Structure 1
Amino acid sequence: MSQYVSRIAGTFVGPPRLRLPGQHRRPRRIAVLSVHTSPLHQPGTGDAGGMNVYIVELAKRLAALDIEVEIFTRATTGGLAPTVQLAPGVLVRHVDAGPYEGLDKEELPAQLCAFTHGVMQAWAGQRPGYYDLVHSHYWLSGHVGWLASERWGVPLVHAMHTMAKVKNAALADGDRPEPAARVIGETQIVRAADRLIANTAEEAADLVRFYEAEPAKVAVVHPGVNLECFCPADGRAAARARLGLPPDAFIPLFAGRIQPLKAPDILLRAVAVLLDQDPSLRTKLVVPVVGGPSGSGLAKPEVLQKLAARLGIADVVRFRPPVGQEQLADWFRAASVLVMPSYSESFGLVAIEAQAAGTPVVAASVGGLPVAVRDGVTGFLVPGHEPAAYARALRNFLDHPELVDRMGEAASHHARGFGWDTAASATADVYTEAMHDHRRRGRTAR
């Protein structure tokens, strides 16, 4: 059930099929646009997160399908090589657009002309027809992709990742709403794109409901997980030993960007509730928070540390900086449970990665998390954001320790249905459809 491409109009495309002679061809080379965050950046801080992982893993798997990928991203430090080989068949192109450092994401719209100029310069040095398709990620990239696709005469495939109207409908306390300019920009991209890729059926429905997307243009492709990296491996005890964590502790983990949208404060408040109810837990609890400030969280980078002190739980909370994929997998293995109380998630890659490592998840019942987490089987979904509700979910694991292993095993099995190979093959099918429809419309126009 988890591996498919579907049309919200009702038709269903099953598992990838062998392509026979005479069938529509896949693209040979695509331009991928990621203006505001580089696939080379460390996820978990700044603007780097699940989208970075998505772009990197998808690009590698597309290259394995003989689709060359060139990723255009903004240069954020001086002296970067103009191009970097990320993997065989995957090239990253750094584009100079605005100052290298100190530029917030909200200031990037003013640099889109410069970024577009850099993309066009790279294209101008190639033979005609060099790129078969443009795949843009996030609305800033979508505007560059819109112009590029029209200039090159190729289809535009766009992935929103997050949507302003959806985020504004579920704002966290203290978070700022997305600006009207973004809403307008997203609306324009939805109209211009040949295909829109959504992570879940709910996201696809949001595109239709909030942005009046044409249902026939929207495809659902679940993201994947790197199953070689995120796996149970040698188990919880070994991972805890490597990370210097107590072997018998109860460890609810938060991993991700520290900003109101991701709601790490909910976990801290839930832990305070647990300790108020049962002070003896203080010797058994270790609460790691792995990640760095991001978005509106950059304005108050110490807010979580101050909250932990104010709640009287600073002694059980351990703040750690973002880490690479291999060590992140160890944090997942070491945890008793991952806690993901986000206010909005288009999918929630972290939830799938943790489950792939054999760890159950307690998550907010929002966005794509009900797809990522099987409620009552691989973890618990919590409606709303009351800390007491999360405390009750965590108490289930404390009162029934066997749940950690039982749900962890189910979680690992569940996550194996989300491989990147399947996601890449399904995405390639979306590209193929977009190219076919684009050519057909071109013939009709003539």
Structure 2
Amino acid sequence: MRIAMISMHTSPLQQPGSGDAGGMNVYVLSTACELARRGVQVDVFTRATRPSQGHVVEVEPGLRVINVVAGPYEGLSKEELPTQLAAFAGGILQFVRCEQLHYDLIHSHYWLSGQVGWLLRDLWQAPLVHTAHTLAAVKNTHRTSNDTPESDARRICEQQLVDNADILVVNTPEETNDLVRHYDAEPEKVAVIAPGADVELFTPGKQRNTELARRNLGIPLHTKVVAFVGRLQEFKGPQVLLKAVAELFRRDPDRDMRVLLCGGPSGAQATVEHYTELARSLGICHRVRFLDPRPAEELVAIFQAADVVAVPSYNESFGLVAIEAQACGTPVIAARVGGLPIAVDDGTTGVLVEDHEPGHWADAIASLLDDDQRRIAMGVAAREHAMQFTWARAAEELEQVYGQALALSVDSCVQRKPEGA
């Protein structure tokens, strides 16, 4: 089986944590790697953003990333990429023609890629599997007052994909409900496949590892640590955590606690300075450390160094950070939104907070930091919970969905075949 994966607006090889790179990058790369290890030939098409990337990158046997030139390398925001859909599709067609390739199936990620996948589906007569990752209607429902609403154009394009894709892959049953409620999707066209984590990389650290991680981060060994890992934008809620921490110090000025925020800005108006200034205005700047985005191999140390990890997002289709943290044996405090109630077992592997009120988040953080026995027990359970979510299992289920899509395509062709032909 040869699969064309399309991830136009962000490369799976890009460092997650800033700009447009995040959980989707991890998802695409991780599932593609596992599919390749299962014998599926995978080509991932993405838009080239610098000439030094090379046209074709051999990631591992059976997996290539093809950087397609479509528009200028730099200076295009995600909102401007629709102007390059034709150029991007043309670049894919040129590559396929030159290489004399045939793809059995197309798997598009995000609505921009879906529009290209929809075109290629009809040109190649290959089934289209689509994963939205986020939906305009859902983001607009949960956005903060400072967030720019998603456009009607995106909403219309997503509706077209729901109507025309052969199978829609989602992370949770909640996403199925979102597709049905907001886009009138047919439930039988939706396949639920939970993402995973690299549970061999993300593992609990022995005491020596934890001490080393803290020493390298410049954190005292006996200080309680709360970590946030993700893009610095209102939608991800770093401001909620900072205000909650300020409330904790208001209640107890002598509390021995540090906060780590690991990630880069995302969005036209987002800057690290905005959040450092917020910490300064709250009087907690000396308690907070901002860390640049880093590869998964280095994130492990942050998860191991933390006593708890906070995920105060306003919505998450699943919440990969929550699973990765729990795989390291670290409990998670998360908002009860989107897929996070599945990623976090409330009361067993962490705590779910009903809203984004800083006082309620302060209560939740204190409930774990001040109860060592409960927090340690949650850490043990967290690892066991995370072991249910692996990329190998996700890839196995994806391959089954691909088989279903191919079977549906064959049936459709048979039904369209003229009588007597």
**TM-score of the two chains, using structure 1 as the length reference:** 0.91
CA distance in 2, matches of 1:260, 1:296: 12
Aligned with 1:359: secondary structure?
Answer: coil
Counterpart in the other structure of 2:357: 386
CA distance in 2, matches of 1:288, 1:154: 46
Out of 170, 175, 187, the position equivalent to 1:215 is 187
Once the two structures are superposed, residues 179-217 of structure 1 have per-residue CA deviations (whole angstroms, 9 ceiling, x without a partner) of 111000100011110000000000011111111111111
The residue type equivalent to 1:246 in the other structure is P
CA distance in 1, matches of 2:39, 2:219: 43
Residue 114 of structure 1 pairs with residue 83 of structure 2: no
Residue 80 of structure 1 pairs with residue 53 of structure 2: yes
Out of 239, 252, 257, the position equivalent to 1:265 is 239
The residue type equivalent to 2:174 in the other structure is E
Out of 79, 100, 104, the position equivalent to 2:73 is 100
Q: Give the total of aligned pairs.
A: 415
CA distance in 2, matches of 1:126, 1:62: 22
Deviation at 1:364, TM superposition (A): 0.3
Aligned with 1:295: secondary structure?
Answer: coil
Once the two structures are superposed, residues 26-47 of structure 1 have per-residue CA deviations (whole angstroms, 9 ceiling, x without a partner) of xx11000000000111000111
Residue 255 of structure 1 pairs with residue 229 of structure 2: yes
Counterpart in the other structure of 1:411: 382
The residue type equivalent to 1:179 in the other structure is S
The residue type equivalent to 2:51 in the other structure is G
Counterpart in the other structure of 1:231: 203
Aligned with 2:117: secondary structure?
Answer: helix
The residue type equivalent to 2:241 in the other structure is L
* Structural mapping, 1:246-395, within 5 Å: 246-281=220-255, 284-298=256-270, 300-395=271-366
Counterpart contact for 1:172–1:263, Cα < 8 Å:
no
Residue 429 of structure 1 pairs with residue 400 of structure 2: yes
CA distance in 1, matches of 2:38, 2:198: 17
Counterpart contact for 2:176–2:190, Cα < 8 Å:
yes
Deviation at 1:244, TM superposition (A): 2.6
CA distance in 1, matches of 2:12, 2:269: 21
CA distance in 2, matches of 1:313, 1:147: 52
Counterpart contact for 1:258–1:297, Cα < 8 Å:
no
Once the two structures are superposed, residues 195-252 of structure 1 have per-residue CA deviations (whole angstroms, 9 ceiling, x without a partner) of 0000000001111111111111100000010011111133433322333321111111
* Structural mapping, 1:42-81, within 5 Å: 42-81=15-54
Aligned with 1:196: secondary structure?
Answer: strand
The residue type equivalent to 2:194 in the other structure is H
CA distance in 1, matches of 2:414, 2:267: 45
Deviation at 1:296, TM superposition (A): 4.5
Aligned CA RMSD, in angstroms, stands at 1.1
CA distance in 2, matches of 1:224, 1:92: 21
Counterpart contact for 2:48–2:70, Cα < 8 Å:
yes
Percent of paired sites with the same residue:
50
Q: Which runs of 4+ in 1 moved over 4 A?
A: none
Which 5+ residue runs of structure 2 have no aligned equivalent? none
**TM-score of the two chains, using structure 2 as the length reference:** 0.97
CA distance in 2, matches of 1:296, 1:176: 10
Counterpart in the other structure of 1:134: 106
Counterpart in the other structure of 1:157: 129
Once the two structures are superposed, residues 367-407 of structure 1 have per-residue CA deviations (whole angstroms, 9 ceiling, x without a partner) of 00000000000000001110101000011123212222111
CA distance in 2, matches of 1:286, 1:400: 17
